[in-house]
Structure formats: C-alpha cells, structure tokens
A and B are shown apart, each in its own frame.
Chain A
Amino acid sequence: MRNIKARVIYNNRVSAGFYGMSIRSAYLAENTRPGQFFEVKCPDGSGTFLRRPLGAHRIHKDGVEMLYEVVGKGTAALSGMKAGQELDIIGPLGNGFKIDRTKDKNSEAILVAGGIGVAPLVALAEALAARKERKIQVFIGAKTKSHILCEKEFKKFGCEARVSTEDGSKGTKGFITEKMDVYLSAKRYPLNAKIYACGPDGMLKAVAGIAEKYGMQCQISMEERMACGVGVCLGCPVKTKGALGYKMVCKDGPVFDTREIAW
C-alpha cells in the first residue's frame, strides 16, 4: 500500500446519484486485486474529516476505477471532481477475493450484488472471465430500475445477468436473494459453485443462509465505517465466530468467508 496523489482521468455520472471515477496510477493498476479497496481523501472544502473507503470497481492497464453512490457530503464532493484534478488515495487495502484455480467443468461462479454492491463484483467478474471460469452467473438486485448498475459490463465479460428490483420497475419484483435461491433450487446436478456477494448486511446474511443450505462456499465483501483503513485504529469490527471475537473489515477483510461471520 502507498499514499499517492493520482490524476483523475474521468469522473462520470453513470446513473442518478452514481458515479464512476477512474484515476491514473501504474502502481495501483499493477498491485490491486478484485475485492480490495482504497481510502480516498475528499477534496478540500468538502467539510469532511475522515477518508472514504471505496472499492476497486475496475482495474485498468493505467489505473483503477471506483464506482460510488453519492450518500453524503464526502461522496458529493468527490462527484464534483474533474478530469486532471489530483486525488489523494491510499491503497490497495484489504485482502480481496480468493480466486482458486479450479479446472472442474461443473464449477460455476455466482455473483450476487445489492445496490452499489455491484462495484467490486465487476472487477471480480473480469478476473474470473480472464481465467475462463466456465460460467459466471450474476444476480443484480436494487431498490429500483435506476439503481441497477453494470448489467452491460457483466454481459461484456460473458456473464449471465439476472435482475430484480424491490419495486418491480425492472426484472423480477422482490429481493435478489429470492431469485438466487430459486435458481439454485432448480439445479438438478450437484453444483460446484462458489458464491461471491456484496451488498447491504441484510442481503449478505440472506446469501450466507442460502450458501449454507446448498453447502456452497461463499465470500462476501463487507462494509463498516472506518478511520485508518490499515488495521491500526480497530474502528471497523465485524463479529466472527470463535475465540477471536471481532475481526477488522479493513485488514482481515473486507472479504470474509460467510462461515466465519457471527450474524
């Protein structure tokens, strides 16, 4: 990890309230793995204090891209940044997704995204596609149509994408976890599937339950408010099973095996 100042290449609005910011950094391009994140300093005058943790959305040849939702004054200030401006960024941070090299022809990757939780899963899908994962099945859920992001990107990487919205404005009406459960229960053969998920805690908990039901390995990318981002302040705990108690989202995560988590 390094603390660097990187130039913004573009900072585009991708949907109402959602932005994609790409920055130039050979170091980050080379060293970032899917599932890792960055601690980003909001521009001066934003009235914010702490850095903002943002996940790696794309790992490009010349830099990295972050997809973020404007939820407060920090992300609002970030959304105002223009190409050519400097972004103060620390990274890459955290562990990232474990991608094991299976040659099993029945292997299948199941990606489950809730809302802005799609962000790190696009980088993951690209990495899985690059190593010729037999099948990548993506489930994208959100509140409403305009919050369904990255469907095209996933398809570009050869993924099958299924969509649901809570209000029924796109795809199936309901929670994405229900759709995922239906998909898995219809399978007639024992599926060597690995599940990867990112989204709100409630969704992650439901995904963990489904993974357990089908005996599948499941990695989730978690979120918690953070200060340092590097494992020093112990400010971002997640309760885990066993004697260790809390683990830190920034250092031990943000990606956890669901079997570790004490919900």
Chain B
Amino acid sequence: MNLEVSIGKLKLFNPVMVASGTFGKEYGKFFDINLLGAYVAKTVTLKARIGNPPPRVTETFAGMLNSIGLENKGVDDFIENKLQELSGLKIPIVASVAGDNENEYAALCKKLDGCRKVRAIELNLSCPNVRHGERIGLIAQDEKAVYGIVKKARGSTDKTLIAKLSPNVTDITVIALAAERAGCDAVSLINTFPALAVDTQTFRPMLGNVIGGLSGPAIKPIALKMVRDVCNKVRIPVVGIGGITDYKDALEFMICGATAFQVGTANFINPEAPIEILKEIKSYLKRKNIESIKKIIGSLEI
C-alpha cells in the first residue's frame, strides 16, 4: 500500500499532518510522532510576542474559540532552542511564520532557509487574533498583499512554501490563485473563523481578546466546500484543514482534492487522533482494495 504524497519538494510518507499551534513534542508521550507525514510547528514571528490576555479559550457547540494571539519567543529562539528539542524527529518539520508585512515574511523565510531541519515553511496569513501594523483585517483577505508576501517569500527561500488561508473572504479561490501566481508550492486551508461567545452571567465576552477563532467539527463542512472550490481552481497541492476528527473527515478532504490534511483541534480532546486516523485510513484502503492513496485525491463523483 502506498500512502506517499508530495507537496512541492516535500515527500510525505503519508498525508497526515498536524496543524500549527495544536501540537507539540509533548504528544510524543502518547504515540510515535515519527509515524506521521509531517510536523507543523507553532507560528513564530520576528520578535517575541506575549500573546493575548486570558481567558484565551472557550468551548462552543462542536468546537472552540481561541485567542492565543501568536504567543511565541521569536524566530531566533525557534531556531536555537525549539528545533533542538525536535532533533529526534525524522519526519519533515514545517515551520510556520507570521509577520506584519512582506519584508517581515521575507526576513523570516531567509532566517529559516538556513535551517536544515526545516523542510518547508507555512506562511500564516490568516491568524484572526492579531493586528498587523496599520492593516485593517487579515492579510489573507487582501489579494494583493498575499501576492506580494508570497512573491517576496519565494525570493527568500527555496524551501517548499505553503500559504495558509482564511475562510473569512468573499471568494477564497481568488486568494489561492494569487498565492499560486506568486510562486507558492501549496496552499493550506482553512484557518479559524473570527467568532464571539458571551457570558450571560457577567455580560462580558468569554475571551479576554473579545473575539477569537472558531475551530473544530463545527467548521468542517464549510472547510470542505472551500477546499473543493480551491482544488477546482489551482494546480498546486491543497492541504485540507478544518475540524478533522476521524479518518472519514480526513478522507472527505482528500476525496474533494486535498493532497494532505492537518489534524488540529481534535488533538486537544484525543491526543492520539492523528495516529488513529492514519491507522484507520490504512485499513480503509485495504478494505476498499485501493493500492495508492493518490487514487483517493480528487475522486469526488458528481
């Protein structure tokens, strides 16, 4: 059975990835992370960010809101310390970066370009919990900004580049096409939806940052539709993200055209979710007598 897929120059032994900010080396206590397709690290920025005030998470129906606010110690700490902590990993490490403008993204890519451990870079253009300088709204809502950032990032690294897109747009395919034109190797979608929850006892928002990003099974059908739309338009690989909890969810994304997928929020509830999904995809393919996972990709019949 062949589970291999490719994203740009990146060859993955299987399509199971974990979403940025939802996974860490701590999960190595629950299963062997080296069995996964790739490891996507928490987003880093040029300088350390303290993150948003608490509360940062709250439960919603079939999902959750988070407003972490990209808390991180900065890209230099990532290169010097975090990557060392991941030295036992044999699977590709995908770094995730966020900046305020194209120069920052380019600088981040340049710094990571020198790291052998980093095999690909995901450009987080879509975090709903931070402000980018004077910009109103998310980078991933601005076709020109996405084009400019990807173009400049492309000029700064030869590593596989993946643009992570926001669902909070009129037409996500327009943004995906801009990323493709600018030289991205792949797009990953979707990030969380900007959302709100209110405490009726205190009349206050449930989150310290007022708004947060909605993730989990609640957003899966919307994510799936967007992944299909984008797959129908771009030629580059699409990485499906959004509420994947079990192997059927994951297969749905691949059937709609995703080359690989990321498990995110599910990790918090079931730390073994990614490995269970991998095992169950294997037995599914066996049951269905399908030789290669590639046969699944884009197999949706209408």
Let me know if A3 and B271 touch, CB within 8 A: yes
Interface of B is mostly: loop
Let me know if B59 and A232 touch, CB within 8 A: no
Let me know if B68 and A232 touch, CB within 8 A: no
Task: Bin chain B's interface residue count.
Answer: 20 to 34
Chain B CB within 8 A of A50 CB:
yes
Alpha-carbon distance between A235 and B213 when the two chains are bound, in angstroms: 12
Chain B CB within 8 A of A227 CB:
yes
With both beta carbons as reference points, the residue of chain B lying nearest to A251 in the complex is identified as B26
Alpha-carbon distance between A228 and B23 when the two chains are bound, in angstroms: 9
Let me know if B269 and A233 touch, CB within 8 A: no
Chain B CB within 8 A of A236 CB:
yes
With both beta carbons as reference points, the residue of chain B lying nearest to A49 in the complex is identified as B59
Chain A CB within 8 A of B57 CB:
yes
Let me know if B66 and A233 touch, CB within 8 A: yes
Chain B CB within 8 A of A230 CB:
yes
Interface of A is mostly: loop
A136 cross-chain contacts in B, Cβ below 8 A: none
Contacts beyond the supplied A50-B268, A233-B22: 16 A-B pairs with Cβ under 8 Å: A1-B29, A49-B59, A49-B63, A49-B269, A50-B269, A230-B26, A230-B271, A231-B24, A232-B24, A232-B267, A232-B268, A234-B56, A235-B66, A236-B56, A237-B54, A246-B71
Let me know if B62 and A237 touch, CB within 8 A: no
- Given A50-B64, A50-B269, the answer on whether A226 and B57 have CB atoms closer than 8 Å is yes
Q: How many residues of A contact B (CB 8 A)?
A: 28
Please, could you name 27 A-B residue pairs with CB atoms under 8 Å apart, sorted by A? A1-B29, A2-B29, A3-B271, A49-B216, A49-B269, A50-B269, A90-B271, A225-B54, A225-B56, A227-B64, A227-B265, A228-B267, A230-B24, A230-B271, A231-B24, A232-B268, A233-B66, A233-B68, A234-B21, A234-B51, A234-B56, A234-B71, A235-B66, A237-B53, A237-B54, A239-B53, A245-B51
Nearest CB on B from A4, distance (A):
11
Alpha-carbon distance between A246 and B269 when the two chains are bound, in angstroms: 23
Q: C-beta contact mask, B262-302 vs A, less than 8 Å → 1, else 0?
A: 00010111111000000000000000000000000000000
Let me know if A3 and B30 touch, CB within 8 A: yes
Alpha-carbon distance between A1 and B27 when the two chains are bound, in angstroms: 10
Chain A CB within 8 A of B169 CB:
no
Chain B CB within 8 A of A162 CB:
no
Chain B CB within 8 A of A217 CB:
no
Chain A CB within 8 A of B60 CB:
yes
Alpha-carbon distance between A68 and B26 when the two chains are bound, in angstroms: 27
Let me know if B271 and A224 touch, CB within 8 A: no
Chain A CB within 8 A of B203 CB:
no
- Given A2-B29, A49-B61, A228-B268, the answer on whether A233 and B21 have CB atoms closer than 8 Å is yes
Alpha-carbon distance between A230 and B24 when the two chains are bound, in angstroms: 9
B24 cross-chain contacts in A, Cβ below 8 A: 230-232
Q: C-beta contact mask, B48-84 vs A, less than 8 Å → 1, else 0?
A: 0011011111111111101010010000000000000
